[in-house]
């Protein structure tokens, strides 16, 4: 694995689950016969870019939640010896059938008996200090929290409303006509041991719609200026190499 020049400030002492089991139908015209996590960005695969970044962030344990075409990811991990990294353990869990993001998380938690964790979408990237995000939630004994990103146009993503200085009021569905600035869910979540006991009980569903949207005590961590990319559509995929150019050197 390539080493980045970025200095590791502190380690992240909890597992990071990367959700990478979706169908990726919106990107099928560009990335054929491969899962999104294996999408080529310039001359590197997105999974390798993501792992280099996670290692630079101080991640010590990364687990991929796999589904469709999981064998490609598994073969890549084993072929490139990613799971024998001395600094960061890389593992994977394959869902037995499509479970949705909520079911996939629950399946990983049960399979690996995880007590506290971060969860990340496997088709997005945000320039955020993950260690600071985790340590803040642990220090304040937060049950669950998400990272949110400020964007100039929320029409593609939907947007968040805030209740006060630290709690989310609601998730608002994306509206194609709503071209305005706002805060969006960046797809990075912290779950404490208290919440994980509940999460483990789910069998399927959407993490955002069936769980997070119903949380009455969901904290947020704002990132205003960090670079952000969602490679899930052909339009955004085209600019991925520009956004991630620091990791393509």
- Nearest 5°: the CA angle 135, 148, 230 is 115
Q: Which pLDDT band holds residue 1 (cuts at 50, 70, 90)?
A: very low
Other beta carbons within 10 angstroms of residue 140's beta carbon come to: 10
Q: Which pLDDT band holds residue 174 (cuts at 50, 70, 90)?
A: confident
Q: Which of 59-68, 167-176, 199-208 has the lowest average pLDDT?
A: 167-176
User: What is the pLDDT of the chain when averaged over all its residues?
Assistant: 89
Tell me the pTM.
0.92
d(CA 182, CA 20): 27
CATH of 16-247, one of 3.40.109.10, 2.40.30.10, 3.90.550.10, 1.10.600.10: 3.90.550.10
d(CA 203, CA 210): 11
Ramachandran angles phi, psi of 104, nearest 5°: -65, -45
Place of tokens 């380690």: 11
d(CA 237, CA 15): 28
Q: Say if residue 58's pLDDT is above 90.
A: yes
DSSP-derived secondary structure for 4-16: PSSPP---B-S-E
Q: Where are the domains of the chain?
A: 16-247
Other beta carbons within 10 angstroms of residue 86's beta carbon come to: 5
d(CA 119, CA 183): 19
User: Residue range 102-131: average pLDDT?
Assistant: 95
């Amino acid at each position: 694995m390539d080493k980045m020049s970025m200095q590791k400030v502190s380690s992240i002492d909890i597992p990071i689950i990367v959700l990478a089991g979706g169908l990726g139908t919106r990107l099928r015209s560009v990335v054929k016969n491969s899962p999104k996590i294996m999408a080529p960005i310039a001359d590197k695969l997105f999974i390798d870019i993501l792992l280099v970044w996670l290692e630079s962030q101080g991640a010590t344990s990364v687990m991929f939640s796999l589904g469709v075409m999981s064998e490609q990811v598994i073969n890549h991990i084993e072929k490139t010896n990613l799971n024998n990294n001395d600094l960061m353990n890389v593992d994977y869990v394959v869902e037995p059938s499509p479970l949705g993001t909520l079911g996939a998380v629950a399946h990983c938690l049960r399979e690996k008996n995880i007590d506290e964790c971060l969860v990340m979408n496997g088709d997005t990237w945000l320039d955020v200090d993950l260690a600071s995000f985790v340590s803040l939630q642990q220090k304040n004994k937060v049950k669950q929290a998400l990272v949110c990103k400020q964007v100039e146009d929320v029409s593609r993503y939907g947007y968040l409303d805030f209740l006060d200085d630290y709690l989310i009021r609601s998730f608002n569905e994306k509206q194609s006509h709503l071209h305005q600035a706002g805060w969006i869910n960046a797809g990075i979540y912290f779950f404490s041991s208290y919440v994980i006991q509940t999460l483990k009980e789910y069998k399927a569903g959407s993490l955002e719609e069936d769980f997070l949207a119903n949380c009455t005590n969901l904290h947020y961590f704002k990132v205003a200026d960090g670079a952000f990319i969602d490679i899930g559509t052909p339009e955004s995929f085209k600019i991925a190499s520009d956004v991630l150019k620091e990791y393509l050197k």
